Homo-oligomer: A and B are copies of this chain.
Amino acid sequence: MSPSRSPVGLDHRLDVVAIGNAIVDVLVQAEDRFLDDHGLSKGAMALVDEDQAQRLYGSLGAGLETSGGSAANTVAGIAQLGGRAGFIGRVRDDQLGAIFSHDIRAVGARYDTPPATAGASTARCLILVTPDAQRTMCTYLGASVGLDPADLDLEMVARARVLYLEGYLWDSEAAKRAFIAAAEVARAQGGEVALSLSDAFCVERHRESFLELVDGHVDLLFANEVEITALYRVNSFAEAVEQVRGRCRVAALTRSESGSLVLGGGDSHLIEPVTLGPLVDTTGAGDLYAAGFLHAYTRGLDLQTCGRLGSLCAGQVVTQLGPRSQVDLRELARRQLGLAWEPLSSSQAP
């Protein structure tokens, strides 16, 4: 199925505009025992306050800092693939905020949210990478929870073919309101709305809200196996698939080393995982899957190809430390899948 979309072909459109938490990651190698000692659930994201973040950081080893944030990673991936992408999310006017802002613009994404000039510092996520390459996250949301409807660049939202939301935003009342306002604007302009469920604990916190969204307001849903079974409170992936089928236009359900299943147009597409080298760090795997998927989707490619490009991008990012690809994703897509896009002309550039 080639997804139908409304006013395509307009040069001033952006392929994907995402709203998310603007976060700088601190990647630290840690032993499993550290997770146990600190009551951390492997693979999950826990919210911490600034004091807890400082205490944890103080007991961790040396880190590597890199821009992160789930939806921001997706936007960076789309820009690296050659797509026109924009990001909305809030940093503070501090050094980490400057790093975040630089990095997302450096890959060619549009990012204009004004930094906060007072209040909490830029959000940080302590990412503990265990020897099995799994990542466990402790996030201090800082300035990113201050995102509210007034921060929204509605002109940019209106240009979005796909407006992409990370479920993590639901942890902030103001950010959630900002997204709902944005979704209305995007849809009024013929755009589609995509949601990533982000994390199983996040789903637990906001199940009712997510269920309502998926039924009425979301065109494309991204979730992994744990998240989708948590959403429908079922015990198996198969049951979750039956629950979600038909509730939104497209559902892309990822299953780590088992690949992914894409539901859409009445069909199911089983997508093989891609292995490009030893597993180093799973940080960003879901984000980059969404990037590949959405990039192919906004180019009008069939769902099978969307899933395969998602798998390829996820397969690349897990071979390196950190959630932003250090290789040329466009070249990778050309070499591995024979996919090629024209470079953006200057009139098309965001």
What is the interface of chain A, defined by CB distance below 8 A to chain B?
29, 57-58, 60-67, 76, 94-96, 99, 102-104, 106-107, 121-122, 321-322, 324, 326
Least CB distance from A67 to B in Å reads 7
Q: Is the CB of A62 within 8 A of B103?
A: yes
Interchain CB contact under 8 A, A324 and B67:
no
**Contact residues in B for A322 (Cβ distance below 8 Å):** 64
What are the residues of chain B within 8 A of A29 when measuring CB–CB?
326
A104 to B95, CA, bound (A): 19
Q: How far in angstroms is the closest Cβ of chain B from A66?
A: 5
User: In the complex, which residues of chain B have a beta carbon less than 8 angstroms from the beta carbon of A102?
Assistant: 57-58, 62-63
Do B95 and A62 touch (CB < 8 A)? no
Interface centre among A29, A58, A94, A99 (most CB of B within 10 A): A99
Q: Which of B60, B66, B324 contacts A106 (CB 8 A)?
A: B60
CB-based contact B106/A62 at 8 Å: yes
* Nearest B-chain residue to A65, judged by Cβ: B65
Q: Are A66 and B67 in contact (CB under 8 A)?
A: no
Known contacts A95-B95, A95-B96, A121-B95; A67 and B62 CB within 8 A of each other: yes
Chain B residue at minimum C-beta to C-beta distance from A61:
B106
Q: List 30 A-B contacts (CB under 8 A).
A: A29-B326, A58-B102, A60-B106, A61-B106, A61-B107, A62-B67, A62-B76, A62-B102, A62-B104, A62-B106, A62-B107, A62-B324, A63-B66, A63-B99, A63-B102, A63-B103, A64-B64, A64-B65, A64-B66, A64-B322, A65-B65, A65-B99, A94-B94, A94-B95, A95-B95, A95-B96, A95-B121, A95-B122, A321-B321, A321-B326
